Structure 1
């Protein structure tokens, strides 16, 4: 249990010290009359003593009761913890807690330094109000001119900082608690179809690029995952491909192999026979290096260097021009893979797993219109399969108006039941 101390008077005065002129029976301390008189003293859950100043003794006693009660209920917060600045908590606590690779670390840090620290860096965590949180989110578009999905992404980072502060008991509640996040704007993807992908493969001016296009179209690998693919990740017998690393580039460090960004990114892909044949043919034609930093990499440039991201993008632009099709980004070939799965009737969870998305909502947001098209295709297939001669959209006029099963269809149903 804590206790209240009188700052203005000595607790153990010497016998010969003069009495305080304002308070009988007391001996004035060196801070008499300066600041608040009463000090509440109590131990925190960690055993360290905490103090706070109050104008009256009753206020100090009430503070001790409040803190002791908070410790018992598990709702205790260190009153001084919220004094940490936004910059220090973001960089020293939140960023190290993220399970991300070096490339994502650089991305997160850059976003914080561009959009958060200039606005709130020197502010205390506990000082940010909900109205300021909402206003800051507006700045992402009005001041920093961010567009598309990026305002939502940056806001997600910052909202995560304050959520962690709540979990760490630095602040009692996040200022973003009741503030909606910026709308996530996802532009509809229009991936190439099978015919266009075949055109790209045929127009590739190097066999390696043709193989990379076809493998991406058949597996949905990201650019870094494809360029970091090693032969020991391919099980030719079971026809599976293990995705757990990617080739990344970092300024000042160059290219290196790193883990994939998230746990969902680590996945085991089933390989169609065509993908197995393409990979086997490419490996036979251009065997991976047997030793060194890039040992086992399937796709290598002449001279023994891995394929850089910009190199691959530049190659695809040239291939699109040679094929006479619209310019494409490499990620659109990954979208092609997703569109084929969706068109074939795969459910969203399967598509999410194959693509390595963190959650199914990402898959649904990105390919919402493709799922809608697939649903309509399912209706058309069923209507066509069950249509009788003279019916339109699988329904006769009599059945559409009366809601009854036509006599001919009822007879068929009876025959089916008898045969069963």
Structure 2
């Protein structure tokens, strides 16, 4: 990854690594200096990389894929996605793309990609592989644009088949067993209970819940407002970001039980000196790993199956469906962009809907036939033949 540094004059400089010479095997590097700002240096670096890329294929480049990834694709990709997206995906990219690190960029063939895809399929779900493969294909698309390879071999192989992932969730009965494991006289267990309860009873995403502050909660009017999400690196480095979609900005109305539990928790926090985050016991936003440990610990105590954090969102949707709530209401409450997302994710949780429709239709239409023929002219060839035989 290129570093932009300052010299003694306060000017920025950088060294661009462009792979290896095909004859000598030595690394090809170009240094540029004298830039007033990092932006100017970055633009110059991008131009060098682009110009090199356009001629690299014709020069039979010996650049390894690892070099291409670190010096060309990752800087390009980082500038086109949100920082949290880049940070979250970086480790997965480097781990899985390492299969190609020692190969020349120009030497990656469909057979290599197919073998890599097969190995991924032995260890990961299709939905995860599709995301990883999509990023790999994007990297080679960039190499094509820059003229470093003539075509994208990943497109020849194609992505793995899209499969519908089974939704995991806690039933109401399972959740009730988990609730019984909390001793809320203990401050930390009280906090743990609120985390689980709020996620199960509202269906919020974990980032929405951990970003929730008391000024977004109205206990008297019984609602909370989702306006932001939390991007968490560590206790000292976190920031509020825009929610996942525009539809994610929403108002969630609260049941009386949730209002009661939140009011008690707010009083408990006030006894500790006051905390602005709803899901916090120490004035610092709660990271998702903490919530994950809480779920794991209390699922084991309750002797129910362990679930991921997002499964509590699924659990809320499942609960609403079991209560007979329609998909449009669930869409609004969960903050889905459209109802197709809701139905596509949870439609299978309506197992008896077809039977219920059939049962409801029974007797809806009153049937009474006439006792004489009031349309004698309505006949066809078959009915004429029947009359003759009679």
Question: TM-score range, shorter-chain basis?
Answer: 0.5 to 0.7
Is structure 2 residue 139 aligned with structure 1 residue 161? yes
Contact 2:226 2:248 in 1 (8 A): yes
Deviations 1:69-91 (A, max 9, x none): xxxxxxxx944478575323222
Q: Does 1:116 align with 2:97?
A: yes
CA contact (8 A) 1:260 1:266 kept: no
* Contact preservation (8 Å) 1:227, 1:247: no
Q: How far apart are the structure 1 equivalents of 2:369 and 2:266?
A: 57
TM-fit CA distance, 1:245: 2.1
Q: How does 1:304-315 map to 2 (within 5 A)?
A: 304-315=283-294
Rate the CA distance shift 1:323–1:338 in 2: closer, same or farther, 3 A: same
1:244–1:266: 8 Å Cα contact kept in structure 2?
no
Who is 1:378 aligned against?
Answer: 353
Q: Residue 221 of structure 1: SS of its match in structure 2?
A: coil
Higher relative contact order (CA 8 A, sep 6+): 2
TM-superposed deviation, 1:306: 4.2
Query: Structure 1 residues 167, 290: closer, same or farther in 2, change over 3 A?
Result: farther
Give, in angstroms, the shift of residue 336 of structure 1: 0.4
How far the C-alpha of 1:219 sits from its partner, in A, is 2.0
Contact 1:228-1:257 within 8 A present in 2 as well:
no
Partner of 2:212: 229
In structure 1, what is the Cα distance between the partners aligned to 2:333 and 2:124?
A: 30
Task: Identify the residue that residue 199 of structure 1 maps to in structure 2.
Answer: 177
In structure 2, how many angstroms separate the alpha carbons of the residues matched to 1:324 and 1:162? 47
Kept in 2: contact 1:203–1:319 (CA 8 A): yes
- SS in structure 1 opposite 2:160? coil
TM-score by length of 2: 0.62
Structure 1: runs of 5 or more not aligned: 1-46, 52-76, 389-393, 395-404, 412-420
The aligned residue for residue 157 of structure 2 is: 179
Aligned to 1:200, the other structure's residue is in SS state helix
1:229 Cα shift? 2.1
Judge conservation of contact 1:288–1:299 (CA < 8 Å) in 2. no
Over alpha carbons, which structure has the higher Rg?
1
What is the deviation of 1:115?
2.0
Q: Are the equivalent residues in 1 in contact too, given 2:229–2:240 (CA < 8 A)?
A: yes
- Inter-partner Cα distance in structure 2 for 1:120 and 1:165: 15
Q: Secondary structure at the match of 1:248?
A: strand
Alpha-carbon displacement from aligned partner over 1:40-84 (angstroms, at most 9, x marks no partner): xxxxxxx99xx9xxxxxxxxxxxxxxxxxxxxxxxxx94447857
Match of residue 230 from structure 2: 246
Q: 2:381 corresponds to which residue?
A: none
Q: For the residues of structure 2 that align with 1:355 and 1:167, how far apart are their CA atoms? A: 40
Q: Report the equivalent of 1:136.
A: 116
> What residue in structure 1 maps to residue 15 of structure 2?
none
SS class of match (1:97): coil
Instruction: Structure 2: give runs of 5+ residues left out of the alignment.
Output: 1-46, 185-189, 372-390
- SS of residue matched to 2:82: coil
Write the distance in 1 (CA, Å) between the matches of 2:174 and 2:369.
43
Matched positions, count: 307
1:224: Cα distance to partner?
4.0
Label 1:373 to 1:238 Cα distance change in 2 as closer, same or farther (>3 A).
closer
Alpha carbons of structure 1 residues 188 and 78: separation in structure 2 relative to 1, 3 Å? same
Which of 355, 360, 367 aligns to 1:407? It is 367
| Displacement of 1:216 | 0.7
